[in-house]
Chain A
Amino acid sequence: MKFGVIVFPGSNCDHDAWYAASHNFGQEARFIWHDEHALGDVDVVILPGGFSYGDYLRCGAIARFSPVMAAVRKFAADGGLVAGICNGFQILVESGLLPGALMRNAGLKFVCAPVRIAAATTNSPFTNACEAGRPLTIPVAHGEGCYYADERTLDELEAEDRIAFRYIDNPNGSLRDIAGILNAGRNVMGMMPHPERATEPLVGSTGGRVIFESLIGALTLAR
């Protein structure tokens, strides 16, 4: 599998995603600079966490205009797998690749903590190895992670089984405890928790492994 990790100015979990894919799962992984117009030969694209362009405006609001996002849109439209983590989720939402918005945490503070989430569907390349409802401990680290959408969109997400993860301990006030969602094509997923930080026991937990395993499994199957 070839993982491409997008690097925006201000990305700071780019290295963590790269390290998890390459060292903890033995996959090929490379960085893709934000002003590149093509993604090259990759199977899955990760939009990593961080503060793209400083995020002084709404998080992700500037990154959506980055040259590489045109390539990501095209890649997604062609069915390529795109995972946005934390700031990556915010960017996917700002880009219109996923519905809704991520607002200031309900507690109004940045929260860094391991939280329990659970896959709400196993019908996606990002969650196929998960067991629905089984708690996974994965850290969050964000100030603006409160998922918001209008009632109709939320109902639609539920009706179409597009909620990827829900919080068991909701750290930010996200509506309907939503921690991660899928697009209609089920090939684009955004989530606020950081699975790449939970892929080896030494640094706390392994709850994120199953997400990487899902991806790797899906891609192996697709070959």
Chain B
Amino acid sequence: MSALTSELITPELIALHQLSEPEYAKILKILGREPSYPELGIFSVMWSEHCSYKSSRLHLKKLPTTGARVVQGPGENAGIIDIGGGYAIAFKIESHNHPSFIEPFQGAATGVGGILRDIFTMGARPIAVLDSLRFGPGSDPQCGARNRRILEGVVSGISHYGNCFGVPTVGGETIFEPCYNGNPLVNVFALGVFKKDEIFYAKASGIGNPVIYVGAKTGRDGIHGASMASAEFTEESKQKRPNVQMGDPFLEKLLLEACLEAMHTGAVLGIQDMGAAGLTCSTCEMGSRGGLGIEIELDQVPQRETGMTPYEIMLSESQERMLLVAEKGREEEVFRVFHKWGLDAAAIGTVTGDGLLRVRHHGDIVVEIPNRELADEAPLYDRPRTEPPRLAPMEAPEFASADLNADLLTILSSGDVCSKRWIWEQYDYMVRTNTIAGPGGDAAIVRIKETGTSVAISLDGGGRYCALSPRAGARLAVAECCRNLSTVGALPVAATNNLNFGNPERPEIMAQLVEAIEGIAEACEFFDTPITGGNVSLYNETLGEGIFPTPVMGIVGLLETRAPLTMNFKAAGRVIILLGGLGSCNEARFGGTQYAKAVLDTLWGLPPALDMEYELRVHKAMREIVPLAESAHDLSDGGLAVAIAESSFGGVGVGAAIELNSLMRPEHLLFHEGPSRILVSTSDPEGVERIARTHSVEALRIGVTVDSAIRVSNNGVELLDLDIASAERAWQGGLGFPASWPVQNAHPWNNSRLFENSSAL
């Protein structure tokens, strides 16, 4: 055992590994001796916040995780729910915030790669990706140029990886706030489909079975990525660029096909991807889940570089690698598949009965740690917490609109509300021909070809609302996702979440985290959308400046496969109904709106009030109304006025003439963001009203669809009168990037000549 004690473990080295004194004492107790250098590294990554959830685990237990459809809850690579017809879907959301700040393109690309592996490691073929992105504003006086560079880099990274891999990126959200200047958020959601009886788990089984390494060779990239993600950003962080991994989507595509094919041989018993903490995490977690040991010889690990130390091999976060346990004697069947796809596959060890992770290098034992203690008994902290800090005043400023038309145009062209076409046209959102509703709608819909069922997905994050009240903001995010799904006719069934917060060692940040988790728990319980997995990203701070508390929800719903109900008005002369009614607002509840942000450039008060009982009734009514509706669009950012405008941007020139009778002040009436409201156009208003009545939901006739204009009046006073074209121009151009097509071709061969030809026929 000489190799286990050959290096000197100094207090400085321990501190460098971000292990506290009590944590190191626990390591000594587990091992009964001093750790070796590689062992120290292994404990450091496995017990990092990123891998162990040591600050959040205690509170994550409050989330509802079970339900009739849940096949697999949290704790595996992804959550799984039963969608009927013998099929299931696996889905999860994960963050890649820190790498995306340091190296936007590769950071975002490998974020996509990592979550895709989580899905197909379970045997599911990925069929949809969505992204929730948050950046500093491009107009920021100090950081604007950098913010734009990060946005461009992140978008092209996602585009590069997802497009090449062949998974459609079907939706998401993009938000801008100065608090993300030094800490952008890149949360990627992926979803895959498989037969219910062909699910694979990341669990070792069968003493003596071979442990097989497949995929890319191991290099020195990404060492200590997990620890990097568990610390605040400082000026030195930029020096950590080599800690960001490089992605190879082509290799991942091969790995996908090879893994699914190998799984079908029946020779694979368990499989896990190598993500954060690479070989370390996959070996000890598979061992721990199986209650078994794993012994590997590092000489057998395919390596990209020479002279790699055990420490480097175990901690490398090289991408596109998998670890699997196969049935003894059937190794060749597995190798044959991987070799067909041109991939490395090597037996690097065996499953043992002693519960230890034992690593050899040139035959010498360099690591020997009990799997369970390493993987599942990481320190658990009930960190002290106070109250969430007040990040904005309670009192509303004095304001009065000078021009409501101009206000609407300002909001339509603002970063959060404007069209994100420039972003999503860079993503192949159609590959695999399942996309029924792509980006730009309330929820994305992909069909499951095999069953006649479709899956709808909505991502929505807190941020601004959560800054005002983490608990209320989290509940509103859940409610909005479920409303989005109901608006397209889907029944919300399960959720995943990504919790992006600051430094949990600060009691006020910890309070935000706990409040948000409890808010999610209440809402997910209420809307019957259990959490089947997710991700926690803490230490989202740069130079001591924290982000808004930002929980991001990803909720999936189910519906029968059929032509989608979209948000755009289709024809003039239809009745417009505001399902849920005008809602209510007061000065305090107006401070988190897009009006406050884009027009008044300030933040105050509280988020909109949510009555979950009423919200749920609106959802139920909406799902019944779908067959009677020609369009439906949920009210959220920018309230009623923005919903009306967006519904008018369908390219057919149909807008709305709205007449209201309300005592609310015009700014509130048009722009308040009270939930539980959906804008519906229909040729059967009585039918819609009848359904609403049975659910005790207000269905207010507010106007009709008309050609080319957006007009709103209240008690006979005109509030808005815009032509659709100018409103749409503001909305389309808001992101500030020039459209990359169509390209005007200077050559004489042009469209008119094309049609001259056709008229000749």
Q: Hey, which bits of chain A sit against chain B, CB under 8 A?
A: 9-10, 12-13, 15-16, 19-20, 49-51, 53-56, 105-113, 115, 118, 120, 131-134, 139, 141, 143, 158, 166-177, 194, 196-197, 200-204
Residues in B neighbouring A170, C-beta threshold 8 A:
741-745
* Chain B 420-434: CB-based contact to A (< 8 A → 1; otherwise 0): 000011111111111
- Provide the bound-state CA to CA distance between A158 and B165, in Å: 36
Verify if B68 is at the interface (C-beta below 8 Å from A): no
Partner of B754, one of A120, A141, A197: A120
Nearest CB in chain A: distance from B609 CB, A? 39
- Provide the bound-state CA to CA distance between A197 and B436, in Å: 12
Residues in B neighbouring A111, C-beta threshold 8 A:
425-426, 740-741
Contact (Cβ within 8 A) B741 A139: no
Contact (Cβ within 8 A) B761 A108: no
Q: Hey, which bits of chain B sit against chain A, CB under 8 A?
A: 156, 159, 163-166, 248-251, 253-254, 341-342, 424-436, 447, 449, 561-563, 739-745, 747, 749-751, 754-755, 757-759, 761
Residues in B neighbouring A15, C-beta threshold 8 A:
432
Q: List 21 A-B contacts (CB under 8 A).
A: A9-B254, A12-B166, A15-B432, A50-B166, A54-B249, A106-B743, A107-B741, A110-B159, A111-B425, A112-B425, A132-B757, A132-B761, A133-B754, A133-B758, A168-B754, A171-B742, A172-B741, A172-B743, A177-B750, A202-B561, A203-B436
Contact (Cβ within 8 A) B745 A139: no
- A134-B758, A168-B754 known; A109+B426 contact, CB < 8 A: yes
Contact (Cβ within 8 A) B433 A54: no
Interface of chain B: mostly helix, strand, loop or mixed: loop
- Provide the bound-state CA to CA distance between A53 and B430, in Å: 21
- A54-B164, A120-B757, A202-B563 known; A107+B740 contact, CB < 8 A: yes
- Report, nearest first, the 8 A-B pairs whose CB atoms are least far apart: A133-B758, A107-B740, A12-B166, A54-B250, A176-B749, A173-B743, A171-B741, A169-B742
- Provide the bound-state CA to CA distance between A171 and B758, in Å: 22
- Provide the bound-state CA to CA distance between A107 and B169, in Å: 20
Nearest CB in chain B: distance from A191 CB, A? 16
Partner of A175, one of B739, B745, B754: B745
Residues in B neighbouring A9, C-beta threshold 8 A:
250, 253-254, 341-342
Partner of B250, one of A49, A53, A203: A53
- Provide the bound-state CA to CA distance between A178 and B249, in Å: 30
- Provide the bound-state CA to CA distance between A149 and B341, in Å: 35
Residues in A neighbouring B251, C-beta threshold 8 A:
54
- Provide the bound-state CA to CA distance between A51 and B431, in Å: 12
Contact (Cβ within 8 A) B166 A105: no
- Provide the bound-state CA to CA distance between A136 and B375, in Å: 57
Residues in A neighbouring B757, C-beta threshold 8 A:
120, 132-133
Nearest CB in chain A: distance from B472 CB, A? 37
Residues in A neighbouring B561, C-beta threshold 8 A:
202
Partner of A112, one of B166, B428, B751: B428
Contact (Cβ within 8 A) A171 B743: yes
Residues in B neighbouring A141, C-beta threshold 8 A:
163, 428, 430-431
Contact (Cβ within 8 A) A110 B426: yes
Contact (Cβ within 8 A) B159 A54: no
Residues in A neighbouring B749, C-beta threshold 8 A:
158, 166, 176-177
Partner of A201, one of B163, B449, B563, B761: B563
- Provide the bound-state CA to CA distance between A49 and B70, in Å: 36
Residues in A neighbouring B754, C-beta threshold 8 A:
118, 120, 133, 166, 168, 177
Nearest CB in chain B: distance from A210 CB, A? 14
Contact (Cβ within 8 A) B254 A10: yes
Across the two chains, which residue of chain B brings its CB closest to A151? B747
- Provide the bound-state CA to CA distance between A39 and B672, in Å: 63
- Provide the bound-state CA to CA distance between A110 and B164, in Å: 11
Extra contacts, 18 of them, besides A12-B253, A16-B431 (Cβ < 8 A), are A9-B254, A13-B166, A19-B449, A51-B163, A54-B164, A54-B248, A54-B251, A106-B741, A107-B741, A110-B426, A111-B426, A112-B430, A171-B742, A196-B433, A197-B430, A197-B433, A200-B433, A202-B436
- Provide the bound-state CA to CA distance between A113 and B428, in Å: 8
Contact (Cβ within 8 A) B425 A113: yes
Across the two chains, which residue of chain B brings its CB closest to A13? B431
Residues in B neighbouring A168, C-beta threshold 8 A:
751, 754
Contact (Cβ within 8 A) B250 A12: no
- Provide the bound-state CA to CA distance between A10 and B739, in Å: 29
Across the two chains, which residue of chain A brings its CB closest to B168? A112
Across the two chains, which residue of chain B brings its CB closest to A15? B432
Contact (Cβ within 8 A) A20 B740: no
Partner of B430, one of A19, A120, A139: A139
- Provide the bound-state CA to CA distance between A49 and B166, in Å: 10
